Amino acid sequence: MRPRKIIIDTDPGQDDAVAILLALASPELEVMGITAVAGNVPLPLTAKNARIVCELAGRPDIKVFAGCDAPLARKLVTAEHVHGKTGLDGPILPDPRMPLQGAHAVDFLIETLRAEAPGCVTLCPIGPLTNIATAFRRAPDIAQRVQEIVLMGGAYFEVGNITPAAEFNIYVDPEAAEIVFASGAPITVMPLDVTHKALTTRARIDAFRALGTEPGRMVAEWTDFFERFDIAKYGSEGAPLHDSCVIAWLLQPDLFSGRRINVEIETTGTYSTGMTVADWWGVSGRPANALFIGDIDADGFYRLLTERIARL
């Protein structure tokens, strides 16, 4: 079977980094390019970190593009308090040698979707949706050419992680999220409702370290750093590897369960801006526009993740 063509849109971020490694370790997927966006840390760092991860995976051939450095209509909010100043705090990693592509990420998204047959390219946004929304706004024809958008973002029963109501990726650029959720493209959402059920544990992190490989050691050291925030905030045993849920969905969808529902984005709430208003109980009468994932087989997820990282 031909590999599934994907573009990863990302704001690395330790959990983004693990998701990128998972994708690059999986022959079922063809990573056509990685588009960096401002989010966890500013764009120069997310564009640098994406290349660091590609080189760690032994893939300096992957095309990495820099995209939007600020949300559509708001000041950038970053998350150094979670990811550290570099965005990949934990281990010390050398600067990347592979070049950044000259083209803008938005141009790459538009050109690739127009060049490929309709329904052949999956978009995997795991950061704020600024690049995706900008591409859809500049080239409205491409939304119907997307095979699927599988994104990490939002929350409903789990409520917010950056405000009481909003999850970070949506909160940073709610206007972009509004454009994406109204685009008509097939959307699968990995919200905090499911990612918070995919927590690291000491045993799971030790399994990465026990691989005895550089990627395995990096994943362990990134999660050692990344988990401290969630442990302190939630009193949980570990941290959610949010973004890897997007890639795991492509590889083993039976690990997940969810519901096709209507999801709207709050953009004008005094306290709720950035909230994904997920009509889980179907009370709004609004048409379903997304598959909202609520549950995961966490042991199966970590088995998949560890087995794949071992291949790098």
Q: Binding of ligand RIB at residue 131 (CB under 6 A)? A: no
DSSP secondary structure of 26-54 = -TTEEEEEEEE-SSSS-HHHHHHHHHHHH
**Measured distance CA(102)–CA(52) in Å, rounded:** 17
* Dihedral sign for Cα atoms in the order 82, 108, 102, 32: positive
Q: Which does 41 bind (CB under 5 to 8 A by kind): ligand RIB, Ca ion, none?
A: none
| Contact partner at residue 193 from ligand RIB, Ca ion, none, CB < 5 to 8 Å by partner kind | none
How near is the Cβ of 193 to Ca ion at its closest, in Å? 17
Q: How far apart, in whole angstroms, are the C-alpha atoms of residue 135 and residue 220?
A: 35
Nearer to Ca ion, 37 or 121 (CB): 37
Burial class (CB within 10 angstroms; exposed 0-12, middle 13-18, buried 19+) of 69: middle
Residue from 167, 221, 227, 279 touching ligand RIB (CB under 6 A): that is 167
Closest separation in Å from C-beta 169 to ligand RIB: 5
Amino acid at 238: G
Q: Is 9 in the site for ligand RIB (CB under 6 A)?
A: no
Examine the residue annotation and report whether 83 is marked as an active-site residue of this protein: no
Q: Does 126 bind ligand RIB (CB under 6 A)?
A: yes
Q: Does 39 interact with ligand RIB (rule: CB under 6 A)?
A: yes
125 lies in the site for Ca ion, by CB under 5 A: no
Instruction: Write the binding mask 16 to 35 for Ca ion: x where contact by CB under 5 A, - elsewhere.
Output: x-------------------
Spatial separation of the C-alpha atoms in residues 21 and 6, rounded to whole Å: 14
Residue 46 has a CB neighbour count (10 Å cut-off) of 29
Residues with a catalytic annotation lie at: 242
Q: Which residues bind ligand RIB (CB under 6 A)?
A: 11, 13, 15-16, 39-40, 126-127, 152, 161, 167-169, 242-243
